[in-house]
Structure 1
Amino acid sequence: MGQCVTKCKNPTSSLGSKSGDKEGGSKSHHKKGGGSHKEEQNAPCSKAIGELSNGTKALEVTVETPVISAVIGEPHKDMGLDGDGLSMLRIEELFYCYKDEHEDAILEEGMEMFCIDLCVDPAEFRVLVLAWKFQAATMCKFTRKEFIDGCKAIKADSLEGICSSFPVMLLDAKGEENFKDLYRFTFQFGLDADEGQRSLQRDIAIALWHLVFTQNSPAILEHWLDFLSENPSSIRGISRDTWNMFLNFTQAIGPDLSNYSEEEAWPSLFDTFVEWELERRKKEEEQMAKEEEGRCTDSECSPTTDRLETEGSRGSQTWGGH
């Protein structure tokens, strides 16, 4: 799914693959599934038939190949259905289409092809929501359990079913409690588990804040992200506490920041941000005032002066006439 947020130099590019130039290992995750495997559907099994020297046929041997009807949602007989009418076999087959050749999981290349077949951009909000529904522990990876349990959770056993579930998933993500859960999930999802990270790199955090607030962006968000971008030396990482408290900040503090108090238990980084933002607004207001004054040029103001002088001379003549 593109370049993984936790690995690449451009963290906004994707949620799906850790490195665009990674070698070997998992070359062909898509060879047995996806929307471009019709040629395999035409031959679900192969028969090896030999002929003896006396002209009689040898024992017919049937070799079953993986059934890929589940990929595009076609019906298949003898599929065990669960209580929701989902076929566990089709879910297993869908997982098999993208899994790594050496590990029982869908990894970078498989995730990229999975996104392509779902017709979604790896960097978009829907991919994050899908990972949340699947409760993926690591970015760029779906384990077998995560994939199967995730499909069951969204009640889908095919690509078509997953696609049709996106509107419902996006609606679920708008709920207050659900969004809080998604928001906290996003922090954990962004950590690099291989390196044992406990805080998000600044650039990663900025990218994930942009992403998680896709559907409902708070008024202060862009100024907060500008603050983080403009102070790289003093802000190296974002802790879990800072990440979680920012959501509370957006809900409790008004856009004008007038009800913010340093006496409350906010992270110290928020104190610095509020001071920086209020100073920025002050400078912006002063600049606007100067620009407003500059609009009244001599050429624009002179007609008013001439008019007053003319009216004054007329008044003198009138009084003098009496």
Structure 2
Amino acid sequence: MPPSYTPQQKAAIAQYVAITQADKNAAVRTLKQYSWNLDQAVNAFYSGGNNTAAASPHQQSLSKLFDKYKDPQSKEADKNDEVTNIEGTMKYFEDIGVGLEDVSFFIVSELLQSPSMGELTRRGFIDGWSSQGIDTLPKMKNHILARRSQLPDPAFRPTFKAIYKHAFPLARAQGQKVLALDFAVEYWKILLSPPSLAWTTPSTAFLDLWLDFVQTRYRRAVNKDMWEQTLRFAEMCLLDESMAWWNEEAAWPGVIDDFVEFVREKRAVGEMRADEMDVE
């Protein structure tokens, strides 16, 4: 007859398994060892102090690796909430060959769910890499290179969308709901050009036009909706560069409507010049 547990104990077992990916028996043994204190049991797991045979070798290795980069001043009540400081984060990116001005930076930040620029959490670091079965720096470097090469592949588009969306909260100034335009411009240059999604077609350099438009006519901070709708609009442009699918009744942000008119103006000028050259 299986042992019976209280509702609180059952909840603790389920949470321990979800957090550590250990099996149920290992969860029970560790929780009993720590008198059913979930926080203490999880902390012991990540510090390698639970001595359970079923503990994930990836997670234990990743926890030790994270210790090399964590902020020595980070003394959180929950060990999983410990973070890196800017020096530790930069050292980590250097060790895996990732530059801050390359799309790889955004790939890693999304995978590890970095809460802000220059900061990683122990939980995000361990969960992100263990989900890929990776626990060493060389393997991390190779994985990021592989993901980088996949960015243009339509089959990889859902992952790219997640990377693009995560760039917005990642880059916002602390306490702000919008992204400064100069930051948005730099990130669009990285995320919407090769080796990432190339927002250009045979007849229209959309990204160049977009950057010209937002810097000369829009000139304001970028909110979350505008950031996300820009990617959706870019994808539509790549499917049909004529923009025949666009109409004023669609639920696009006003800035997108204005940009469509901007592009049409540029095209009209270009056609006029071509006609003048033909006459000459």
Q: Same fold (TM over 0.5)?
A: yes
Query: Which 4+ residue blocks in structure 1 deviate beyond 6 angstroms?
Result: 78-81
- Look at both structures and tell me which one has the larger radius of gyration over its CA atoms: 1
Question: Quick check: 2:59–2:126 contact (8 Å CA) kept in 1?
Answer: no
Residue 211 of structure 1 aligns with which residue? 190
How much has 1:261 moved relative to structure 2?
A: 0.9
How much has 1:171 moved relative to structure 2?
A: 6.0
Q: C-alpha separation between the residues in 2 aligned to 1:204 and 1:273? A: 19
Cα deviation code 1:104-139 (max 9, x no counterpart): 421211122112222222211112101111011211
Pick aligned residue for 2:58 from 78, 82, 86: 86
Does 2:137 align with 1:152? Answer: no
- Structure 1 residues 138 and 237: alpha-carbon distance in aligned structure 2, compared to 1, 3 A threshold: same
TM-score (norm 2): 0.67
- Structure 1 residues 82 and 156: alpha-carbon distance in aligned structure 2, compared to 1, 3 A threshold: farther
Q: C-alpha separation between the residues in 1 aligned to 2:146 and 2:164? A: 18
Q: C-alpha separation between the residues in 2 aligned to 1:235 and 1:189? A: 21
Residue 109 of structure 2 aligns with which residue? 131
Residue 258 of structure 1 aligns with which residue? 244
Cα deviation code 1:12-56 (max 9, x no counterpart): xxxxxxxxxxxxxxxxxxxxxxxxxxxxxxxxxxxxxxxxxxxxx
By percentage of residues, which structure has more strand? Answer: 1
Q: C-alpha separation between the residues in 2 aligned to 1:180 and 1:291? A: 42
Task: Describe how 1:39-118 pairs up with structure 2 within 5 A.
Answer: 82-83=55-56, 85-86=57-58, 88=60, 90-103=61-74, 104-118=82-96
Does 2:204 align with 1:190? Answer: no
Q: C-alpha separation between the residues in 2 aligned to 1:248 and 1:170? A: 20
Does 2:247 align with 1:241? Answer: no
**% identity of equivalent residues:** 24
- Give the residue type in structure 1 aligned to 2:178: S
- Structure 1 residues 119 and 252: alpha-carbon distance in aligned structure 2, compared to 1, 3 A threshold: closer
TM-score (norm 1): 0.59
Aligned to 1:258, the other structure's residue is in SS state coil
* Count of residues in correspondence between the two structures: 211
Q: C-alpha separation between the residues in 2 aligned to 1:202 and 1:292? A: 40
Unaligned 5+ segments in structure 2 are: 1-50, 75-81, 201-205
- Structure 1 residues 80 and 106: alpha-carbon distance in aligned structure 2, compared to 1, 3 A threshold: farther
Q: CA RMSD in A?
A: 2.5
Q: C-alpha separation between the residues in 2 aligned to 1:126 and 1:292? A: 46
Residue 41 of structure 2 aligns with which residue? none
Aligned to 2:58, the other structure's residue is in SS state coil
- Structure 1 residues 111 and 277: alpha-carbon distance in aligned structure 2, compared to 1, 3 A threshold: same
Aligned to 1:98, the other structure's residue is in SS state coil
By percentage of residues, which structure has more helix? Answer: 2
- Structure 1 residues 158 and 139: alpha-carbon distance in aligned structure 2, compared to 1, 3 A threshold: same
Question: Quick check: 1:95–1:144 contact (8 Å CA) kept in 2?
Answer: yes
- Structure 1 residues 156 and 216: alpha-carbon distance in aligned structure 2, compared to 1, 3 A threshold: same
Q: C-alpha separation between the residues in 2 aligned to 1:165 and 1:222? A: 31
Q: C-alpha separation between the residues in 2 aligned to 1:135 and 1:100? A: 17
- Structure 1 residues 80 and 284: alpha-carbon distance in aligned structure 2, compared to 1, 3 A threshold: farther
Pick aligned residue for 1:200 from 179, 197, 214: 179
Residue 36 of structure 2 aligns with which residue? none
Pick aligned residue for 1:286 from 261, 272, 278: 272
Unaligned 5+ segments in structure 1 are: 1-77, 295-322
Question: Quick check: 2:59–2:130 contact (8 Å CA) kept in 1?
Answer: no
- Give the residue type in structure 1 aligned to 2:256: F
Residue 97 of structure 2 aligns with which residue? 119
Question: Quick check: 1:133–1:154 contact (8 Å CA) kept in 2?
Answer: no
